[in-house]
Structure 1
């Protein structure tokens, strides 16, 4: 008998939390090498509680795509994280490999929820943190 790969369903309450993390940005995988036969994709749910953010990080050689399900997010990048893009419900975003960035929930009252897909896996390299004040317009809950 061959080792046939078949479809795998990850139920809503069974998302895998053993994937790499960065601070207060919580990643839970639905399709990933951590718990499916996948070898070249990581696809999961990412959330930030109101006013929470990730520390600076990058995703090594991974290309990353995201889709905002709920909330107002912001990604800071560039020299001293002075540049940023805002994302709202229904927006897609692409983050290139090795790009240092900070993922932020800009709301102090609503959760930010998005789907993220990257290849080949959820690789995360956390970088030295920056003070909240360095991130234009950001404030904690």
Structure 2
């Protein structure tokens, strides 16, 4: 029997941390397979404490869109993570599939919060330790 997907609201207090994680980049799922009828998208917030950077990782086949909701960020990528882009509140970024990177908080005092969307899902492949910034 076919069950029609239903609209579902996920309240901010109900975001789930039961999703793929990378150290120093706490992902909280708002829209995911686990808490809605979503089958091809993941949407959530990523929190990075002041002065921290995530471990190196990539998102497999998933395309990733990011939006800096609060704070200042940087992303390291490329050969030996030698390339860097800086982002401010209100900036968007696209990370292509299978692109190894490190996401960092450029502030020593304020938390960084990203709004992140991925398709087809929140694929996270953690990589071996990378040089720290």
**TM norm structure 1:** 0.91
Aligned to 1:138: none
Deviation digits for residues 86-110 of structure 1 (CA, Å, limit 9, x no counterpart): 1110000000000000000010100
Deviation digits for residues 39-76 of structure 1 (CA, Å, limit 9, x no counterpart): 00000011101011111100000000011111110000
Q: 1: CA distance between counterparts of 2:96 and 2:57?
A: 12
**Is it true that 1:83 corresponds to 2:94 in the alignment?**
no
Deviation digits for residues 24-45 of structure 1 (CA, Å, limit 9, x no counterpart): 1010010011211100000001
Question: 1:131: Cα distance to partner?
Answer: 3.1
Structure 2 unaligned runs (5+)? none
Aligned to 1:47: 47
Aligned to 1:94: 94
After superposition, residues 1-141 of structure 1 pair within 5 angstroms as 2-132=2-132, 135=133
Find runs of 4+ consecutive structure 1 residues off by over 2 angstroms: none
Number of residue pairs the alignment of both structures matches: 133
**TM norm structure 2:** 0.97
Structure 1 unaligned runs (5+)? 136-141
Deviation digits for residues 78-127 of structure 1 (CA, Å, limit 9, x no counterpart): 01101010111000000000000000001010000110000011100000
Structure 2 residue matching 1:80: 3-state secondary structure: helix
Q: 2: CA distance between counterparts of 1:131 and 1:41?
A: 31
